[in-house]
Each structure stands twice: as structure tokens, then as C-alpha cells.
A and B are shown apart, each in its own frame.
Chain A
Amino acid sequence: MADVRDIMELDQPVTPELTKEAILGADKNKKRLFNAGQKVSKRPEGMHREVFALLYNDNKDAPPLFPSDTSNGYKQTKIKLGMRKPRKWEWMSFTNPARSDNTLFYHWRRPSDETKEYPFAKFNKKIDIPIYTDAEYNQHLTTEGWSRQETDHMMDLARRFDMRFIIIADRYDTEKFPKRTVEEIKDRYYKVCGILAKLTNKKMYTYDADHEKRRKEQLKRLYERTPEQIEEEQFLIGELKKIEARKKERERKTQDLQKLISQADNQGETPRKADKKLPKKKITNPSRPSRVDTSHILQAVETAGIKFPDYKNSGVSLRSQRMKLPASVGQKKTKGIEQMLQDMGMELNPTPSEEICQSFNELRSDMVLLMELKSALGTCEFELQSLRHQYEALNPGKTLTIPAQLLTAGNEQEAVKIGEIIDVVGSPGTPSGI
């Protein structure tokens, strides 16, 4: 702080530094002295700050030649031998307030500590175990199955073993009293405590012996599983995970399918209607839900097929560039497109005239759509079959007849159907010349 003030050439009164003493308010005199000292060593006019700092620093010892840490944080002070008289230790007697008798023990201690209390006595903590009078017992605590003697014995053990119920059960006097389980003892103990607490309006604890018993029984069974059982469990858990994974996969596929269907419904219309619809919408005030709907459909259209990047805004480019398949089209689909193009006897890279370019891209987009539809159809069929099996498994003896229109009967028909679909789906913008 002082340095900064020096650099700024400010001449402000020195604010007291924040030290432990300052906070505690102690050593006020020293502080003043310190401040006074600082005032004395004021930097002469024209002397460089650095030079001054070398001559006078805070603690006014010789300026360091080498950066060193003089605080006693790291440097260990050497033991000064023979400089002072060592403090005495004496073998002396002591009494321990934690003991109920006044037995004297002996230990080494500094005579100066003699008057102090035995330092370990404060660790002598005792748990409060409630006590009851005869009247209290007779009035409130009698129960079936527990005699007064046994209750006394149990409370005594609880006191001796600081409520370690497992040890209490272990040391229970089974000659005089019946053998008790840990739960029985705990139950009785907490009942007694609860009743006594109620009498004095203290906090009371409840203990559910039955629940405890069941919990322990279960725990025991858990621990006593054989390795085979554990293995089986692991196996089953693995299977369950697999089933769940398959279910998720199927759900995903169903969603894809739905997307495709909505696309198939819309794709045919979009290019044509796009021009009409939009102005229409502008006229009829568009309600929010409908807008959401269209955007949803649009999105579906975008995601299926191939989305070719828009080159219009990206400066000069070759038109052939527009025919390049984007990276989002996977290897498998690229292969499929090539295959289909070959089957149709078409070039893989036709001359990219404006028209060809657009049509070619649309064709390939449709091809991808076709492939996706095919695989979706496969999924549907699989699901249909598995549902049928499930149905038959759940209703033995019955068979589920699937309506014919849901079945793809033969290969020929399928081919026709797909052809139809393509016809339906095929974008009308495609010039018939190709």
C-alpha cells in the first residue's frame, strides 16, 4: 500500500496496517511507536523509492542482499543448549477426578502443572441412562414377560456397556433370565425410556422391533447368498440391461418412422404449396399452434433425405461442388446411392448443369428417403411379429391374425408397393426427362 502511494506521489496519512494486534486492539503502545518510527524515516526529497526501501524497511534490519525469507515459517531456530535452566519434570502423585475413589497414581509432570486437574478427566463422558423409582416402575413400567429384576439387570447392563446392545445381549445373565435377542432388549429398553420420557415430557424415541427384526432377517439373507445365487443375479441384471437397451432402440426406430411418415405426407406438398401456403397464412392470422405444427413438419422434412448445403451465400463456387454429398450422409447410404444409380444405369457424376444439378440432388435425396423407409418398414414388421409372439405367449392357444394390408406378402408386391410409394412421394418438381 505504501509503495503504491509512493509511486503515485501521494502524501496521505499512513493508515494503520491491518495486523492481528490492530484487530485485537492489543499492543497499542507498540503500534504508536512503530508509526512514529515510520514518520522519522521519511523519504528525503529526490531520493528514489527503491533506494530508500533498501535503507529503511519496515522492521529496520539490514537490507537483504539476496531475497530470503526471514520469517520463522521455514527457517528452524536452533535449539539453544545450556542457555537456560531446563524446566523440571517430577514423578508425582495425582488424583483422577474421573475416578470414584481417590487413589493416587504417579506420573511425570511439571511441578507448575501440579495444581491443574488431571487433563484426561474431561474425556470421561457418561451416557444418561434413565432411572426409575419403585413407584414409577409399579405404576407405568410393568409388562408381560419382563420381571422387575430382569428390567433392572438390563438397565444395569445398558449403563455398564453404554447402550452397546450387541454386547448387552452377549453378557446377558442367561442363568437367571431367559435368553433375549438384541431386538427384544432394545425394544424393552426404548419402551422403558419412552414411558419415563413421557412422564417428564422429554423427547422420546421409538423403536420398531418388528421392523428391525425383518430388516436383519433380510440382511442376513442378503449376506448368506451362495456364489451361484450372486452369479445368477448378476446374469439377470445383465439381461435386464440388454432388454432395456433393445426397448430403447425400438422406440428410437419408431420415432424415426413417425418422422418419415410425416415427411412422406408432406414432402409431396411442400414445394408446391410452399408458395401458396405462406401468403395464405399471412392473410389468415396465423395462430400459434399451427405455426408450431408447420415448423415441426418442416423440421421432419429437413432431417430425412439429404440436406444439401446452401451455396448461394458462400461466394464463388463450382457448380459441381453442389452435387457433392454432404458429410452427414453416412458411408452406408453413399454406397446405397451408388448401387441404385448403377442399377438405373446412370452416371455417378453427371455434368453439373443447373438443371441436372438440382434434379440429381433431388433424386439422390429421394433415394435416401427410400432406404430409410425400407428399413423403417423392416422395423415395423419386426415389431408386429414380436407383438404377435407376445400376444400368443400371453394367451396360449390363440393366434393373432394380422390384417392382410399390414403384411407385406410377397417380394413382387413389395416391389410394386415401394414403387407406388415412390410415385406418391416423389417430388413433383422432378423433371420427367431424367
Chain B
Amino acid sequence: MSGMLYGGDEIGALVFDPGHHSLRVGYAQEDTPKAEIPAIVGVAPDGGPKLEPEVKVEGSGGSSSSINASQPPTSAAAWKYYIDTTFLHTPRQNMELHPYMKDGMIENWDFFEKVIDYSYAKIIQSESEYHPVLFSESPWNQRPKREKLMEIMFEKYKVPAFFLVKNAALAAFANGRSTALVIDSGATHTSAVPVLDGYVISNAVVKSPLGGDYLVLRARELLEAQGIDLTPASMIASKEVVRDKDKAKYVKKPISFAPTNSWMAYMSKRTIQDFQQTVLQVSETPYEERVASAVPAVHYEFPTGYHQDFSSERFRLAEGLFDHAMLGAGYIASTSAGMCDVDVRPALYSSVVLTGGNSLVQGFSDRLSRDLSLRTPGSMRLKMIAANGTVERRFGAWVGGSILASIGTFQQMWVSMQEYQESGKVQIDRKCP
């Protein structure tokens, strides 16, 4: 059996990796998730007759997400939910956007279920009862939430088997380690999580609220202070070429209504995220105006057509991730390692795994390795493991889940429907450590 050779055995499992920025969904044993769905749900009152055109399938990638469900007590009117990029990015009357994640954990279960419904219907396109499901969770996920997730998956989706793994452990697996210090820099936070033999040492997890969203916040301050128009691309019908730093000349799409504030905020955040991903860079050594301004500037054009050079600001903004005395990425990493048993520290330092979308900010890994090496005890070997590919880095936890769920020896770990029916949800802590 060729599967034996590689230890793989595919059983048609699905992997879900919920994050603040997005939910990653796909089949186990594949290289990348089938879809990355923004972790935000648009809700608008259902306009009745408007329903028909919305439901029709448009092209390949984005198909309609309208899943009707009545919002229970607040109003009798039907609500319409908008999920995934294509639907979220179009302005709609009275569409309010709601995140369903908080602190790395699922907060709003109704919205979350809508997204899962959408995933099964449009992305997996198969019945949930045929596929075992592996979920990732943040290392500090709480027991009631774990139980609830298990309950929903078994009761509502009737999955044949379910498993829950800490995303840091998965990220370590994706990088070929079972023992590692995982530095995960996501949208809302950056965390340092020691993983030993695939188990997270939960008392030594350190996290800081400095992540991608923090950069967005700082970038927004800067751009707004400079009076730069952040109108999103989906509001713009046409634009003209203007000279560097000249006022943008563009025509707005004719929309009869004013988009909601939450939508505008979300869209401008997307705009800033793009700016942040293209322009920002972490300098290799602590920020110095003189050094930073010597680096060639980067040119960036906003959706409105306005464009200009950014030079030292690029570094000044990104510096926020590192210059904080207690929350900088290097600091939390060494603190976390310092909280572990002395015997495991050398192993942790010798495989520091970097993952999460925000770690893709230019220069992030170089700076982290510099900051960390200053804090590494002299006699220890420091090795940073950072996947080169954007996909591997952003979807680290998902890829790890994909690997784990398709390993032959893992198949005995699943919590099966039978076990769930026998012992209920309380066994989650025993079964999924």
C-alpha cells in the first residue's frame, strides 16, 4: 500500500481554521484551503422581491450566499445574510457587517453557523454527514466554547467524526515540527505558544494585541492625517490619471442610498490592508529616522487614483509591532520560552516557527530573529523556521490540519458520532487535549 509508505490515509475529512481575519475551509490532504472566507457577516433586512436576482449563481468563484433564516426574537422580518468577498464588497442598503470572532474565539454562534452553512453549500458542495471535520482553535479557547462547537457539529451538521486541535500545534506540524515555539501573528493579536510533542503548554502562552489590525489602525491615523481619501474601489465607477500627489479625480458609482457605517469602515479597512501589505516594512534594527529615510521610497496608488511616495513612514508604522517594551514580538517570544521548564527551552529556541498572515509584513522575520537572538541565552542555538511561501505562512494552521487529518495513525483520534452519543460533549477536554 503506497499510503503506508508516507503514512497517509485520506478519509475525506474537512479542515476548518477559523481566524479573525478569515475562515479557511478545505479538504484534508490538499495543499491549500479551498476558500478563505472573511470572518465577517453582512446582515440586511430581506427586501422580499429583491431576493430573486440575488440568488442566481454568478460565475465560478462567488456564488450567491443568500441563506435565509429568520433572525429569532428581535424582529419578525426575514434577514438576509451576505457572506464571502464577492457579496460583502458590494454596497447594499442597510447592510450591517458583524464580526463573529472575539479574542480568537467564536463569539456569535448564529453568524458562525451561517458561514458554516455557506461553506458546505458553496465550497465543499457536499453533505456534512459524509465528512469528518477537524477544527482549529486558539490556544486559550474556553471549555464552554469547545463543547458548544462540538455540539453544533454533531447535532446540527451530523458530522460522522470531529476533532479540535490548537492552531499553534497545527502550525508547528505544517512546518515539520512537533516541538516548537510558535509565533503566530494574525489580525487581532500576536501570540507566542510553546508546543511540546504536539501539546500546547497552555500556561506559557503569551499574547499581545499587536497584530494586523493594529497596523491598520496606525496606518489609518497617518493616512487620515494626510487627508488621503480612502474610498474603496467598489464605490468608484471611473478615475483619471493624475500626477503624483495631485488631488484624485474620480467618479463615484451611482448609488441611491448611503452605505452603512460598518460597511464603509470594513471597506476602508480592506483598502488600508492592501496599503499595509504593499508599503509597510519592518526595519532590521530599531527604527531610526536617518536609516529609514535612506531606503528608497515605495510608490502607492489608492483606489481613488491618488498616488504618492512613502518613505520613512513605512518603517515608522511597522515599528509598532516591535518597539513596545512588553508586547513586542521578540519580547513575548522570549517570555513564553522563559515560562517553560528549563529542560524544554533549548528545543523551543532551536525551532521557532513563524506563522500567521501578519508575519508577512516585509522584514518581520528578520527583525524578530534579531530581537529574539538578543534575548536568547548565549549557550542556546536559535533557529527560526518561516515558510517562504505566502500561502504556507498565511494558512499555516490550516495546512497543518490538512496534514494531520490525513495521517493514518491519526484516524483513531477522532471523536466519533457514536462516542458523542454515548458520552456527550463533556468528553471534549479528554479527547482533544
Contacts and interface: CB of A to CB of B under 8 A. Distances in A.
A131 interface: no
Nearest to B430: A160
A83 B10 CA distance: 29
Interface string B180-224: 000000000000000011010111100000000000000000000
A223 B132 CA distance: 45
Interface stretch (A120-128, A253-261, A383-391): A120-128
A224 to B, nearest CB: 7
A237 interface: no
A408 B377 CA distance: 55
A102 interface: yes
B433 A119 contact: no
A166 B197 CA distance: 11
Interface stretch (B74-82, B301-309, B337-345, B361-369): B337-345
A91 to B, nearest CB: 8
B10 to A, nearest CB: 6
Contacts of B12: 106-107
Contacts of A182: 341
A152 to B, nearest CB: 14
A121 B1 CA distance: 14
B412 interface: yes
A161 B196 CA distance: 11
Q: Considering residues B10, B341, B419, B422, which has the most beta carbons from chain A within 10 angstroms of its beta carbon? A: B341
A227 B197 CA distance: 31
A121 B408 CA distance: 8
B412 A167 contact: no
Contacts of A160: 430, 433
A398 interface: no
A363 to B, nearest CB: 61
B411 A120 contact: yes
B380 interface: yes
B412 A164 contact: no
Contacts of B408: 118-120, 123
The interface residues of chain A, by DSSP majority, are classed as mixed
Contacts of B340: 166
Contacts of A113: 1
Interface string B365-383: 0000000000001111000
Interface residues of A, number: 37
B171 interface: no
B1 A124 contact: no
B416 A107 contact: no
A222 B419 contact: no
B14 to A, nearest CB: 13
B160 A103 contact: yes
Contacts of A222: 377, 379
Given A103-B418, A105-B160, A167 B1 contact: no
Nearest to B380: A223
Interface in A159-176: 160-161, 164, 166-167, 169-171
Interface string A103-137: 11111101001000011110110000000000000
B343 to A, nearest CB: 7
Contacts of A171: 202, 433
A2 B250 CA distance: 94
A75 interface: no
A96 interface: yes
A230 B11 CA distance: 54
Contact of B412 (A96, A106, A119): A96
Contact of A123 (B160, B344, B379, B409): B409
Interface string A216-235: 10011011110100100000
Contacts of A108: 10
A164 B378 contact: no
Contacts of B11: 105-107
A167 B196 contact: yes
Contacts of A223: 342, 345, 377, 379-380
Question: Which 7 pairs, one residue from A and one from B, show the smallest C-beta to C-beta distance?
Answer: A120-B408, A103-B416, A98-B412, A223-B377, A230-B378, A219-B342, A167-B199
Given A105-B161, A166-B344, A222-B377, 5 more contacts: A101-B416, A103-B416, A103-B417, A113-B1, A120-B408
Interface of A: 96, 98-99, 101-108, 110, 113, 118-121, 123-124, 160-161, 164, 166-167, 169-171, 182, 216, 219-220, 222-225, 227, 230
8 contacts: A98-B409, A105-B11, A119-B408, A120-B408, A166-B340, A171-B202, A222-B379, A223-B377
